[in-house]
Amino acid sequence: MEDAVLVLGGAGYIGSHMVKMLAERGRPSCVIDDFSTGWKEALAGSSIEGPIQDPLVVEEALHTSSATAVIHFASRIRVAESVRHPALYYLNNVANTISLLDTVCRRGLKHFIFSSSAATYGEPQRVPIAEDHPTHPLSPYGRTKLIVEQILPDYERAYGLKWVALRYFNAAGAHPDASIGERHDPETHLIPLALRVASGRLQHLSVYGSDYPTADGTCVRDYVHVWDLACAHLLALEYLERGGASRTFNLGNGNGCSVRQVIASVERVTGRRIPVVFDPRRPQDPATLVADASQAKQVLGWKPVYSDLDTIVAHAWAWEQKLAAT
């Protein structure tokens, strides 16, 4: 039997897809989640409820599962919230991760996959963005991700912990069978909000800014399917298990889509018009974020399967229809 994996935040959006993928690949997992933002219904198997910073909770999970590796998704992710409440983000995303790392290293685990973010880059100096691009995060959220990335090499030198940090751009979509998908409360992401308008759960879509220095005046982002993200995490773990060196990888499709293009895709897929209200720009929103993910493809062998925007939207639409019917 394959070695077990401890998945932190496994009831969340990306974490639940990771757990499902591990199960499909025949690899056992153990989930720790405090369910503050995750959903128990997203998990087919059992989980341990509790905070990742509690050594007793982590020790129980490691003892129960005999896990040999950790995939860490458990963090707060809303940029605007991090600006309003930075203490919450430094406590949850940094301090709690340090406590987790201490327990993991004390138990002698050697492989750690960290869910990072393109928010570490800040306003891009060049596009597409490669891993050697300067990191100047614009928000406390982005800074918390970068701080953890800077901590990991110190833990490797001191305790032998091998790691991969995955900086993904805009996670989107849902499982192709619509069994799980994006379900944040409150929801802040463009595609699920546009689809809520299509399903009748929202009256209109708010778009923040129409005067960016882009082709149509709206922000451009790189949307990557959540199932492809889960695949990249598994490939990163297998890379470390083969003896790969610790490093950071970008995850994105390399295709920039503007807010207006996303809305057009939603209208194509759903066959419904999306009423839009334009509001002022949000602070700390770069105009364009597009990934150079060539390193993940070359080194990890990552090959995104669902790179077409309409396919990503179609999978998310099937999930939204399921939610709207409940």
Residue 156 lies in a domain: yes
Give residue 308's Cα distance to chain centre.
19
Write down the pLDDT at residue 282: 82
Same domain, 17 and 155: yes
Domain of residue 145, residue span = 5-171+225-251
Q: Active-site positions?
A: 141
- Decide the pairing of beta strands 256-258 and 220-225: antiparallel
Per the confidence metrics, is the pTM higher than 0.85?
yes
Same domain, 53 and 134: yes
What CATH number did the domain enclosing 296 receive?
3.90.25.10
Same domain, 214 and 146: no
pLDDT under 50: residue ranges of the chain? none
Q: With DSSP H G I counted as helix, E B as strand and the rest as coil, what are the percentages for the chain, rounded to 5?
A: 40, 20, 40
**Does an H or E element contain 98, and which?**
helix 96-106
Cross-strand pairs, 48 = 32
Same domain, 215 and 229: no
Write down the pLDDT at residue 274: 98
Residue with tokens 């969340």: 12
DSSP-derived 3-state class of residue 19 = helix
How many structural domains does the chain have? 2
Same domain, 281 and 152: no
What span, in angstroms and rounded, lies between the C-alpha atoms of 100 and 52?
6
Residue 85 lies in a domain: yes
Residue 1 amino acid letter: M
CB 295 within 8 A of CB 239: no
Domain termination residue (choose one: 251, 267, 292): 251
**Does an H or E element contain 29, and which?**
strand 29-33
Structural Rg of the chain based on CA atoms = 19
Q: Which residues contact 85 (CB under 8 A, 6 or more apart)?
A: none
Residue 185 lies in a domain: no
Read off the pLDDT of residues 2-33 as tens digits, 9 standing for 90 and up: 789 999 999 899 999 999 999 999 999 999 99
What span, in angstroms and rounded, lies between the C-alpha atoms of 50 and 59?
12
Domain termination residue (choose one: 251, 268, 289): 251
Write down the pLDDT at residue 51: 87
Cross-strand pairs, 113 = 71, 164
